[in-house]
Amino acid sequence: MMGDNVTSNILANRVLLFGEVNSELNFSHDLYGEKFYSFILKVKRLSNYCDLLPITISERLLAGVQLLPGQEVSINGQLRSYNKYIDGRGRLILTVFAKEISFDTPQENPNLIVLKGYVCKPPIYRTTPFNREIADLLIAVNRAYNKSDYIPCIAWGRNAKYAQILNVGEMITIEGRIQSREYEKVTEDGATEKRIAYEVSVIKIYSKQEEDKIVREP
């Protein structure tokens, strides 16, 4: 039964990435004597824009491996979230937790994520000045040891229209890509600072009750 739960949790949160190492390897944290490191992976979109995605990797996966800036790698893992207190306030931090790393030929899709979780806030639906429909979602995905990852997602067009009717607590499956987005944050003293937000851009979305109904963005 324990093994079934672990497998289920892995299948509920799957990330496949291929890109270029874009930073030095930095020590992140130590957990039960196991060291973890972080780096930035640059992943190209079809538009040639690049998403700069944070990767966390265990020292076990780095045994005999040397990761250097400019090196191309494939990552198989999960998108994880945790709260970090900065200046007395909690911030949701996202990172791709690597479970496998390889230097194989890249797959056709260099940025793929599949999530199965629960809507944990009412979706926020809006339209842009150019009348493009957008919906923001926050999805809770179960993890082992009674933990959950909270993943912000953004849907467009027909996916956004579909997302706006979802109820809090409803289970859904999402397929998409992880994207990075730079924005400016105004601090309490009136200064502005550049930050990077990470979210899942939705390509397909469907509920547990409608698993045969897949909404595709044209």
Residues forming beta bridges with residue 41, ordered by sequence position: 21, 53
Provide the Cα torsion 108, 51, 92, 217; round to 10°: -60
CA dist., res. 193 & res. 191, Å (int): 7
Higher pLDDT pick, 175 / 214: 175
Strands 192-207 and 147-156: parallel
- In the CATH hierarchy, which fold is given to the domain comprising 2-111? OB fold (Dihydrolipoamide Acetyltransferase, E2P) (2.40.50)
Structure tokens at 91: 């911030």
pLDDT for residue 6 is more than 60: no
Amino acid type, 79 = L
Q: What is the DSSP letter of 166?
A: P
The Cα-based distances of 2 to 6, 76, 77, 98, 169 in angstroms read 6, 22, 20, 22, 24
Residue 101: pLDDT band with limits 50, 70, 90: very high
Same fold, 2-111 and 114-216: yes
Topology of domain 114-216 in CATH is: OB fold (Dihydrolipoamide Acetyltransferase, E2P) (2.40.50)
Residues with Cβ < 8 Å from 54, sequence gap 6 or more? 38, 39, 40, 41, 94, 95, 96, 198
pLDDT band per the 50, 70, 90 thresholds, residue 3: very low
22 phi and psi angles, rounded to 5 deg: -120, 10
Domain boundaries, the chain: 2-111, 114-216
C-alpha distances in Å from residue 167, one per residue of 87, 118, 119: 34, 9, 7
Q: What percent of the chain has pLDDT over 70?
A: 88
**What pLDDT, in 10s, does the model give residues 189-201?**
777 888 889 999 9
